[in-house]
Structure 1
């Protein structure tokens, strides 16, 4: 009788231990976690620009329109000869030729057609001091161009992006360490990390390029790269 009772008691105690362990397993599996965001901004001054110019000529005779464009292109090439080796990814594609109809002033007027020849020039400059002499040359030859803030960039932008991302990750961890300290815990390893919206370049203050009275660049302002992340940390 005693042996039977002892065996039953041992079996009961063994079952309770397993039951306790089973009940603890979900708690052990679900360690404390915290999800936080981090953000970082890197301010910089652009040191490069992408430029595009267009030579255009119109004439009733297509060959004359093309000849005018070729003549202007030859003068342009002569004018930039001293700095040509500093123009990165330079391209001046072949002449593009098409026709357009001139507007009429009255219904009885005959609609005329002219030939339009154009040639596009594009390149990058990694020395912003070259911009104004190039704009002066284009203006002297009647070459069309547009220069806006979006055309300015930094030649080491990829490095700046990594710097902003590193700052965003460090910001997220710093917030985790603060929150964990307030809870009497410690910030553990990262479980998940998501980069939100990539990198968002944007102007600081006013426009990056201010045009002077002679349509030349007088000032290039600062920009910012913003990186943000969302991270899940373990708390222990």
Structure 2
């Protein structure tokens, strides 16, 4: 009967793991290696707007002054909408000479362009569309991106991690039971910090879906965010049900 236990010691049920990677983390006693995955979806409750503004004038100072004026108008609008200064970032400006290359020969200087980027964190998604409209009304001429997020991502990451742990335990129990064995203590855990998937961009509904009684605010669909995690675990095995003597974990002899 000992031979059966020794033979089982050579068996490793691996889910997505190479034997070489686990060579230094697996016991010589009967054991089982498995991997668990977890995934949790979250409804976005905040967004980040990135909006650009640029103007071109004959002088760089004039271009900057006009660009600053547009940003200042948008700041006033944001404050009226209840957006606080800590959720606004526009501390940047660039100026660049503009040339006309249409005529052969030496490029002709036609002016200077001043550009700024305004980043706004929105904690009330019902304000999303009004803030975008307000940006365009203030003269900010390019909406670069609208990305969704959650206020407290760590709680969803923890849920995904626990789901991965539960998945690993469930797989291990099922595999052990299939060989008339039971799980012993955990031998090792291999874990690397995971992160949720990239923040999705807001997308517009199709013209067909946007019926006449649908408001503009409703046409912005809030995609869900995915949080995933995984964990690799090595369990020792109790193999007395196969006929081995209880506590017999003698490592297999080299041939």
TM over 0.5: yes
Q: TM-score, normalised by structure 1?
A: 0.75
Is residue 210 from structure 1 mapped to residue 212 from structure 2 by the alignment?
no
Instruction: Tell me which protein shows more helix as a share of its residues.
Output: 1
Is residue 184 from structure 1 mapped to residue 180 from structure 2 by the alignment?
yes
What are the Cα deviations for residues 94-143 of structure 1, in whole angstroms up to 9, with x where unaligned?
5x242323232221575114222122221311221111111000121231
Is residue 222 from structure 1 mapped to residue 218 from structure 2 by the alignment?
no
Task: Go from structure 1 to structure 2 and tell me whether the alpha carbon gap of 1:188 and 1:229 turns closer, same or farther (over 3 Å shift).
Answer: same
Question: Gaps (5+ residues) in structure 1?
Answer: 1-23
Q: Number of aligned pairs?
A: 204
Task: Go from structure 1 to structure 2 and tell me whether the alpha carbon gap of 1:87 and 1:166 turns closer, same or farther (over 3 Å shift).
Answer: farther
Aligned to 1:233: 235
Please identify the structure whose Cα radius of gyration is greater. 1
4+ residue segments displaced more than 6 Å: 213-216
Contact 1:97 1:118 in 2 (8 A): yes
Aligned to 2:143: 145
Worse overlay, 106-115 or 162-171 = 106-115
Aligned to 2:35: 37
Q: Give the RMSD, CA atoms, in angstroms.
A: 2.8
Q: CA deviation at 1:164?
A: 0.3
Map 1:1-236; keep pairs closer than 5 Å. 30-85=28-83, 88-94=86-92, 96-108=93-105, 111-143=108-140, 144-148=142-146, 151-195=147-191, 198-201=194-197, 209-211=202-204, 218-236=220-238
Task: Go from structure 1 to structure 2 and tell me whether the alpha carbon gap of 1:50 and 1:129 turns closer, same or farther (over 3 Å shift).
Answer: same
